Amino acid sequence: MMKILQLGKFYPIRGGVEKVMYDLMLGLSEAGVCCDMLCASTEDHPAAEIEVNPYARLYVVPTSLKVAGTMLAPGMISKLRKIAGHYDIIHIHHPDPMASLALYLSGYRGRVILHWHSDILKQKNLLKLYKPLQNWLIKRADQIVGTTPVYVEQSPFLQHVRDKIDYIPIGVTPMSYDEAAVANLRSRYADKTLIFSLGRLVEYKGYAYLIEAMEQLDAHFHLIIGGKGPLEQQLKQLIADLNLQDRISMAGFVADEDIPTYFGAADIFCLSSIWKTEAFAIVQIEAMSCGKPLVSTAIPGSGVSWVNQHQVSGLVVAPENATALAQAIQQIGSDAVRYQAYADGGLKRYRENFTRDKMIEKCRRVYEK
């Protein structure tokens, strides 16, 4: 029987990469494949070894410090050296310099799958230090997989290894929400067309453009932005400067158990991201699973607009363009026939491409190959 190790990132699960890792571990182990996960702690979570089920074990090593946006967990090196020989395949998730260093020093001689979630874009100094290790990892990998065909085909770091590239679309279980909780949330915004956006309040999410778009829409539309981050006060000031306090709600941090309620209450989901840092956007497929039309952006080199297919699951517009966002929201929100076509198209696209079962099935095929 194959034994797999998912390697990299953090626990508790907060970001998209670790969610993919954790879901792969769960889905594969529930299908009877031995699949463990080794990661670093975050949010002061204690070091732990957790038996998830009879086929899956989660190893969490302590994080010592954070340098240049990178968590340093030296315990990952010693732990991987101890356990690497137990596995037929190590499935390492990039970008994660600590995991790459641990693999380099582990002495592991088995098969390596490199999951290329995104390029390192913003941290230029980190990339200079990390690039030799990244080059080794690309060469060492037996197979490189992306989350969309677009991203891995266009990554400047992978042009010379096209012969070993494949992709595994991210998959999620469908959002399930309580109708009473949805009705309660909607009651706060009577007769409004609700636009929902969810993510960290950081520059690459492009929230300033979405806020400016609201200035161009009539009062029938109401925007809810869920999430926290360093730009919170700046965005609140922009809302005040545009006198949009009655038309935009900043929901702050949304607990995992409450997220489905917001998706259920929303009429339209909007992803206003502007940089290739947004490689896939899991929130898009979560919205699709609820039958919600999407408005997203055509970020060069990103897979975002491959996920949201233009005029199938919603509309795709130019990034950094408030007017284009407003026009797309207006088109979907004011045309019942168009709205239903995109709602149905998104749900169909989700079921055909982005369920967790589809992700597990494709991953198993890559492993078997």
Alpha-carbon gap, residue 281 to 363, rounded angstroms: 19
User: What pLDDT, in 10s, does the model give residues 88-139?
Assistant: 999 999 999 999 999 999 999 999 999 999 998 776 666 687 899 999 999 9
Q: Which helix (H) or strand (E) holds 73?
A: none
Question: Number of structural domains, the chain?
Answer: 2
Residue 64, pLDDT > 80, answer: no
Q: What is the structure's pLDDT at 70? A: 63
Mean pLDDT value of segment 168-183: 96
**CB–CB of 38/6 below 8 Å?**
yes
Q: Are residues 242 and 295 in the same domain?
A: yes
User: What pLDDT, in 10s, does the model give residues 328-337?
Assistant: 999 999 999 9
Alpha-carbon gap, residue 186 to 287, rounded angstroms: 17
What range defines the domain where residue 57 resides? 3-171+355-368
Q: What is the structure's pLDDT at 127? A: 67
Q: Are residues 166 and 184 in the same domain?
A: no
**Residue 45: pLDDT band by 50, 70, 90 thresholds?**
confident
| Opening angle at CA 62, ends 58 and 67, nearest 5 | 125
Q: Are residues 159 and 143 in the same domain?
A: yes
Q: Are residues 68 and 110 in the same domain?
A: yes
Residue 69, pLDDT > 70, answer: no
Considering the entire predicted model, what is its pTM? 0.92
247-282 as b/e, with b when 16 or more CB fall inside 10 Å? bbbbbeebeeeebbbbbbbbbbbbbbbbbbbbbbbb
Q: Are residues 164 and 267 in the same domain?
A: no
Q: Are residues 142 and 236 in the same domain?
A: no
Domain of 246, CATH number, reads: 3.40.50.2000
Phi-psi category of residue 57: left, alpha or beta, with phi > 0 → left and psi -120 to 50 → alpha: beta
Residue 321, pLDDT > 70, answer: yes
**Residue 12: pLDDT band by 50, 70, 90 thresholds?**
confident
Residue with tokens 């790459």: 100
Residue 66, pLDDT > 80, answer: no
Residue 63, pLDDT > 90, answer: no
Instruction: Count Cβ atoms within 10 A of the Cβ of residue 156 and give its class: 0-12 exposed, 13-18 middle, 19 or more buried.
Output: exposed
**Residue 71: pLDDT band by 50, 70, 90 thresholds?**
low
User: What pLDDT, in 10s, does the model give residues 225-250?
Assistant: 999 999 999 999 999 999 999 999 99
Q: Are residues 194 and 272 in the same domain?
A: yes
What's the chain's Rg over C-alpha atoms? 21
